[in-house]
Structure 1
Amino acid sequence: MADLIKAKILFVEDELSLAEIVKETLELKGFEVIHATNCVSAQILQKKNPANIFVLDVMLPDGDGFSLLKKLRQHYQTPAIFLTSKSLPSDVVSGFESGANDYLKKPFSIEELIVRIKFLIGQIQTTNNEITKYSRVIGDYLFHYPVGILEYKGNNRKLTNRESELLHKLTTHSGNLLKREDLLMEYWGNDDYFSGRSLDVFVTKLRKYLKDDPSIAILNFRGQGYKMIL
């Protein structure tokens, strides 16, 4: 398995003073950082020298990070983190719906950013050839854990680390109510509003991935938590 600190980051930020500090710090920690200041240059740089994680500002001079990620997602399934001062609930939802894996509000701690990057990079260090701890039947699906492969009629979907861990938790406790605050503290480290919205988005994604088998349901008990029915 490759060393996590060798990750290559596409960092898109137009605030040059902030970009310089973040880039320099990440490079001192061993990361390779490709810096872009706008959407157009980001797409060009990614095509020439593909990164294995995106760190994107939302407000950019020629567009926004949400739209940029949607364009990048047409060709790359690279994990992505948004860095932004936008903190309205609609902004958080838009970020995750555009394909983001994580969302960090400005001002932020670079140490926290590094932890989140390492967490996301960890999900792409595995391959389909890696030995799994187990494979679990979920209705018409086969779930390979911990590599996070969801198999349906011969077609494989690679889940993100957080999607895989959340699905593992739900399936191993199927029929039982998993408390919302417990899930948030275990996978997000806090139970604030923004983490709660993130949890809701991830559950929505899992429902979408499992939609081809109507016998599977992830029930939402408002204000309490979630229960998977198989």
Structure 2
Amino acid sequence: MNKPIKILLAEDEAALGQIIKESLETRGFEVILCENGEVALKKYQTETPEILVLDVMMPKKDGFTLAKDIRNIDGAIPIIFLTAKSQTQDVVEGFSIGGNDYLKKPFSIEELIVRINNLLNRTKEQKQSDIINISQYIFNFPKQTLQFKNEEVVSLTHREAHLLFHLIKNKNKVLDRSLILNKLWGNDDFFSARSMDVFITKLRKKLKKDTNLEILNVRGYGYKLIC
């Protein structure tokens, strides 16, 4: 019998947290419920969850700060933010610090479960990759690092690493914008598209030492990594 997937849920609204916990447990998940970010960080360190579901607005330590702390320890664990915020800058910030997905309150448990399963499947698929040579760079996907020749190793954010992985996987081909937004961001809405543009700009800067590499914007379609 397979062990249930362990989810760490950080939600300071006690009633909502209990509803989410019980709903997920009836679907076969194991849920560790924490009432604030400080407790969640301690539970993360002792309980080894497989995915994190974090409310953004929490006392003592908010969801974004908690995610930053965890990303300093683990660059791979999937993170979903629960948020009442809808401003573009808030969504972009969540992705920038290593979030994989977000859900705006109110949301359905069914949608949360779909997003959890999608992230777990994606993580399983990408763990199969190891070190990739791309022109004069060495890309270590599991460690989320990039190195040009024998120079200093540069750290990538969780989001940068996953986007670069898919660009390399489809090198010299157009990476469909809508497809990659749905795969990595969970949807292709305006907020996600703006966020992806930010990460493409960051990757261009980190790859600029190699003139044989270029990320092109194929207007109306997506991006292409030329190698």
Shorter-chain TM-score bucket reads 0.7 to 0.9
How far has the Cα of 1:185 moved from its partner? 5.3
Question: Among the aligned pairs, what percent are the same residue?
Answer: 46
Contact 1:96 1:201 in 2 (8 A): no
Q: 2:199 matched to 1:196?
A: no
Contact 1:123 1:160 in 2 (8 A): no
Q: Distance in 2 between matches of 1:44 and 1:122?
A: 26
2:74 to 63, 73, 76: 76
After superposition, the C-alpha distances for 1:24-53 in whole angstroms (9 at most, x for unaligned) are 111111211111111111112122222121
Q: What residue identity is the alignment partner of 1:118?
A: N
2:13 maps to: 15
| Distance of aligned partners of 1:105 and 1:212 in 2 relative to their CA distance in 1, 3 Å threshold | farther
Report the number of matched residues.
Answer: 223
Normalising by structure 1, we get a TM-score of 0.75
Q: What residue identity is the alignment partner of 1:34?
A: I
| Distance of aligned partners of 1:106 and 1:49 in 2 relative to their CA distance in 1, 3 Å threshold | same
Indicate the SS of the match to 1:59: coil
**Please, which runs of 5 or more residues in structure 2 have no aligned partner?**
none
2:109 maps to: 110
| Distance of aligned partners of 1:124 and 1:35 in 2 relative to their CA distance in 1, 3 Å threshold | same
1:33 maps to: 31
Indicate the SS of the match to 2:91: helix
Indicate the SS of the match to 1:14: coil
Normalising by structure 2, we get a TM-score of 0.76
| Distance of aligned partners of 1:8 and 1:162 in 2 relative to their CA distance in 1, 3 Å threshold | farther
Contact 1:79 1:121 in 2 (8 A): yes
2:177 to 176, 180, 188: 180
| Distance of aligned partners of 1:101 and 1:206 in 2 relative to their CA distance in 1, 3 Å threshold | farther
| Distance of aligned partners of 1:8 and 1:159 in 2 relative to their CA distance in 1, 3 Å threshold | farther
- Matches for 1:48-197 after TM superposition, within 5 Å: 48-77=46-75, 78-125=77-124, 137-141=133-137, 164=162, 166-167=163-164, 169-171=166-168, 173-181=170-178, 183-184=180-181, 190-197=187-194
Contact 1:82 1:95 in 2 (8 A): yes
Q: What residue identity is the alignment partner of 1:70?
A: K
**Please, which runs of 5 or more residues in structure 1 have no aligned partner?**
none
Contact 1:163 1:202 in 2 (8 A): no
Root mean square deviation, CA, Å: 3.8
